[in-house]
Each structure stands twice: as C-alpha cells, then as structure tokens.
Amino acid sequence: MKKFLIASTLVLFNICLSIAVLQAAVEQDDQTLDAGGWTPQYMVEQFKRVGGTEISPDGQWIAFTVSTARTEGERSDYLTHIHLVKSDGSRQFQLTRGDVSASNPKWSPDGKLLSFTSTRGGDGNQIWMIDPAGGEAWQVTETEGSVGQYKWSNSGSHIAFVMVDPPTEEQKRKQREREDVNVVDKDLRYAHLYVIEVDPDSYKTAEIRQLTEGAFHVGNFDWSPDDHTIAFDHQPRPGLEYHTTTSISTVPSAGGDAVLIIDLGGSDSSPVYSPDGNFIAFTTDMGNHRWPGHLVIKVLNLADGSMTRLGQTHDDEPRNIQWSPGGDEIFYMELHKTSIDLFAMPVTGEDAQFRQITQGAGRFSGFSLSADASRMAAIHQDFDKAPDVIVSETETFNPVRLTNINEGYELTGIARAEVIAYESSDGMIIEAPLIYPLDYEEGRQYPVLLHVHGGPTGVFGETYVATPSVYPLQKFAAEGYFILQPNFRGSGGYGKDFRFANLSDWGYGDLDDMIAGLDKLIEEGKVDPDRQAIMGWSYGGYMSSFAITRTNRFKASMVGAGVTNLISMTGTSDIPSFLPDYFESEYWENYERHQRHSAIFNVEKISTPTLILHPEEDIRVPISQGYELYVALKRLGVDTKMVTYPRQPHGIREPKFTIDAAQRQLEWLEKYLGNN
C-alpha cells in the first residue's frame, strides 16, 4: 500500500508546487508526527490487510491476499490481490495485478493452476485461472450473475460453484419499465449450484450447467471423492433468519434430482465427505436452534443412515470442518478464549477427546492444510504483531512467520497490551484484553475507554493493536487512554454455558461484568474515575446506549449501529427471531421485559453526551434505531450528534468513512474527557 502522507509530500516536491503550499504540507506532517503519527487517515491508508491462506496440495506454496485502501479522488474502496510465498520462505511475490481486485484463490488438485474470483471481466464476480509459474490470467466463467463460493472437483476436471439466480427476462423488463414492485416474501431469488468442466488448454470460458433449482437456497457444499455427487446444505429461502432450518441434500454432478439426506429439524450444515466416500461429516444444532449458538459434529453413515455424534469441543461451536486424509479425525477451527485455534477430533464417538494443534500467544485465522494434512498455513497476529502468514507442521506445532507485509508501518512502539482476569459482582471470572496508554507511567492515572464487542457472542482477542478500524486503538493509546475490552457473559470462546449466561439479561449481568473491570483499574490507581467513556458497535452500540441509562459514570458515549429499542428492532431487522430468542418471549408476550432492557424506554435517565454513528443501508440494526435515540436525546436536551453513512451495511466498508468515524470519536472524546 502506498504511504499516502509521505507520497503526497514527494508529489509536492516533484511537481514544484509553491513554497507556501509545500511549507503548509510539511507543517501539517510535523504536527501529525508530534501527535505520534497514528492518525486515522495514516492507519487506514498505510495498513495492508492480509487475507486467509490457501496452501498448495504438496505444501510447498501458500497463496494469500493483500488488500490496500484507495482513497484518491472519487475512490473509497479496497484493492485486493493474490500473493504467493514459498513455505520455506525462500520466495515471495505478488501474483495478480491491475485496478480490479482478485480474491478467493484456490489450487487445482494437482497444484498446477490457481483459480480466483474477480469482477475484472465487468460482468459480476467470475472465476478466473492463472498459471502460478507465470502468464496471463484467463476468464473461466461468464454469467449474468455473480459467482459465490466455489470448489474444484477431486480429479480437477470440474469446478462447482454457488450463484444467486440471475434476473429473468420478465424481471428485467419490469425493471426497465418501472414496474418492479416488491411483494414482501415473494419473487425471491435463490442461490443454486452450477458446474463447469475445466479445460486448462482452451483459455476460453466454459459451458455452465445448473445442477439445482427450486424454492431453496444453497449454502455450503462438497464433492464426493469420485466426483459423482455433490452434497450441499440449503435453507428454505435467502437470509440469515432462515439458516435456523438448514438441511442437507445430494445431487448427481452430471445432473439429476436432488435427494434429501439429513434433516434434524434445525440447522444442519457444512457437509464434508470422508476420504473413502462412505460418510459425511456435518455440524448440527440437533434440531434445537438458539441464536447464542450450540453446534456439534456428527457423522452420517451413507450405507445404513446411522449417525454418530463426536466429542464435545471447547466452545461447542466448531466451524470449517475437514477430514484428515486417513479418515480417522476431523479438523475444525473454534474460538478458544481470546484466541482462535485449530483442533482435531477423532471420529470414534461421543467420548472422543479433541487435540489442540495451534498453540501459543496471539490469534490464528485463515487456516489451510496440505493434501496430506502434514503441513498447515494460517494468518497469525498478536497484540504487537501485525497479521502475517505462518507455516507449521501439524504433528508438532512450531510456526514460522513467512511474511512481513506491513514492514515500515509502525511509527512508534505498539501500545502495551495484556489479557487480565477479574471477578465480576457475582464471582464469575471475566477475561479482558487491556491496552495501556502509549506513554504509560506507573503511578499516574489515565482516562479509560470501555470498548464493548458485538454479537453479543463476539469476543475480544489477542489481535494487533494498530489495526485500523472505526476504533483506532493505537491512536486512542497514543492519546493517553486505557482501553478495556471485557469478554463479558454472553461472549464466545468460553463454552456454551457462558455464552448463554445473558439470556433475558442484556444490560445487567453483562454490564456488571464490565463495570467490575473498570472498578479494578480504578482501585489499582491506573484510571481516573472522572474520565471514563464507553463505545461499541452493534451489541456494543446497544450497551453504549443502555449503560448510560443505568449509570452516570461515563462522561461520553459513542453508539455505533446500536440496538436502542428491542420492540421496534424485532419488527424491522432482517433477523426478527433473534431478540425473541434471547429474551425468551415475543415482545407482545412480555412488554415489561423488552422495555426494561431498551435504552429508548429508559431514555429519560440519560444525561451522558452521546455520539451516534449509523450506516444507512443497515438491515441488521436498521437506522431507525439510531434515529429513535437521537431524537429522544435532542428533545431531552442531552448533547448529542448523529452521523449516517450512505451505502454502508451493518459495518462500515469504505475507507473514507472508516477514517471519518474514527476521527469523530476522537473529537468527541477530546471534548468530554480531554487527553491529558
């Protein structure tokens, strides 16, 4: 990624602008460096995002993606390209180039080709192919729609992919003639399975065959070892709300009728064939879907239809399952307290004990395994280490860091951070990453930011402090703030019971967990009790609005895409079953409970100055949630400001808006807490 501030200064020199303009630029740069240099603009524009790994079948090469922000002129997006690094670290280079992103790399089974998806053809996301040894990429699919997830067949002769049905001719006519009314819950466009034959010598687009059709929405899928069949999960209609009733079917890869094979009445998903083709592993909630989440791994015997439940995992939420080549274990990733780790579970039954593969400090993600599973690649980061590619043998975990993508990014030392543990008011043990002020001195008191994660089943982990976001933690630390990030009851990573511990209790037990952490820092003499603020996005935004109805200890609140009214949220969100599940009743069955836990029904208790940030295209937490709080606070005379972001969904995606949101929060904190 170009270093925007430095590059801008060089451009000024090169084109010989006036001395006055040049001097102003230099003075501005000096001021930035005097403040530690960690401006939101610097962080967003200079930091390179490293994507997940795709290790080659023989384990010799690792493909990964690098994304850089583009903020010049009319641009506000990220450009992503594929890079390769040899697993012994001897070579590293960028494979794809150009002004259009390339992502989602996948090796052919023989390791001779690398496929990826891109919109460089101009017709939605399509599959492209490239020889990693060199040469130009060529387009493989040409569809009216946009390719979603895809997967090579085991022989390498075909690729299957998921794509949302393109609009019909009649639908396109109605759009042209302005007759395209939308009848809610009707005229749905489903995702279905398609397949192409791969001819690496033709350099032409392939003929596409549709494998599934009908009123169901395809998600994850897998090829049988002989390539004759594809197993796939599907839900009755598009949308996260409907993943609660996911089933698994199979379809012949040459075409034919789909056959339902697994339907336990809840969410059955992620089917994966065993190496011998006799079994299918999958994850399931066993017909009892709950939004906090509880999954187990089961194995279906295709010969007799019997099912075996495997052993209990650490967090009861295994993801991305994959068979070992010998068929005796299943690999999976899972939240593990403040980390994400790779595990393996024997397929011997419910009494089986998992083994943990990744070990040590930091957080892992983007796992991939070689064909024989002897070698793994992943992205690793720690509080003071930016995300980079690591490689290790799986039998004995000894990771080697292969890349240093953000070399030169760090302007100062990274703020000290550690995971602390403390008792909540009822004795429950809470863990929390704690980030120290960059200039921390023992014995001095500092302001503190209570940072609340989303979910509420999210979790704060051992992640790089200087990663840019709407919450620029390194900048906050450089400005002299502590940042406390509690993993309160309801968080992921600590097992099912902990994750379910905030049912019908949002804003009470969980807030007590957070307050206990703040009180600990105050008792230790680290934090100035008169300079506390709260911030968060989604559920974090919920807590940032609700906490200030229960306490006046916070001098400022920053509400990001927050739920403020549990009743109206249920009727306007794309997941209307979410809150009734968490609060164990429909709102009309228990008005008092929903009102008691809503900021908007307790808004008269708020006196804390509140900054509200909300995306305009948010269907998860609709923008009306932000407006309800803003209007109420204005009418109450509480100092408030609301900023909305066009085109953004539940999270902010455009880098210019990320910079704006971060800067506005810094200004809000400076106004109400100061930085001295």
How distant, in Å, are the alpha carbons of 49, 534, 592 from that of 560? Answer: 23, 11, 25
* 3-class secondary structure, 176: helix
pTM: 0.92
pLDDT in tens, 285-342: 999 999 999 999 999 999 999 999 999 999 999 999 999 999 999 999 999 999 999 9
Residue for token pair 């909300």: 614
Q: What is the pLDDT of residues 558-590, one digit of tens each?
A: 999 999 999 999 999 999 999 999 999 999 999
- The token duo for 465 is 């402090």
Ranges in the chain, pLDDT < 50: 1-35
Instruction: Collect all residues with Cβ–Cβ distance below 8 Å to 523 and sequence separation of at least 6.
Output: none
Are residues 411 and 43 in contact, defined by beta-carbon separation less than 8 angstroms? no
Q: Which of 383, 491, 506, 504 has the alpha carbon at shortest distance from 429? A: 491
Report the alpha-carbon distance of residue 279 to residue 259 in Å, rounded.
16
User: Which residue is associated with the tokens 């001195």?
Assistant: 441
Q: Which of these, 513, 523, 509, 505, lies nearest to 429 by C-alpha position? A: 513
CA 212/CA 232 separation, integer angstroms? 10
Write out the two tokens for 605: 């208790």
Question: d(Cα 501, Cα 483) in Å, to the nearest integer?
Answer: 24
Q: Is 9 exposed, middle or buried (0-12, 13-18, 19+ CB in 10 A)?
A: middle
Quick check: 235 and 242 in contact, CB under 8 A?
yes
Q: Which residues pair with 507 in a beta bridge?
A: none
Q: Give the whole-angstrom CA distance, residue 666 versus residue 39.
A: 10
533: which strand partners? 449, 556
Helix %, strand %, coil % for the chain, to 5?
Answer: 20, 30, 45
Distance, in Å, from the CA atom of 66 to the CA atom of 50, rounded to the nearest integer, reads: 5
Q: What is the three-class DSSP state of 528?
A: strand
d(CA 395, CA 408): 34
| Range 110-129 burial, b when 16+ CB lie within 10 A, else e | ebebbbbbbebbeebbbbbb
Token pair 């003075």 in the structure block, residue = 27
Number of C-beta neighbours around residue 441 at 10 A: 7
Structure tokens at 132: 């990693």
| pLDDT value of position 675 | 54
Structure tokens at 589: 């069955």
- Nearest C-alpha neighbor of 1 from the set 77, 55, 84, 52: 77
* 396-406 as b/e: b if 16+ CB within 10 A: eeebeebbebb
Q: What is the pLDDT at residue 36?
A: 63
Contact assessment for residue 146 and residue 164, using Cβ atoms and an 8 Å cutoff: yes
Count CB atoms within 10 A of the CB of residue 15.
7
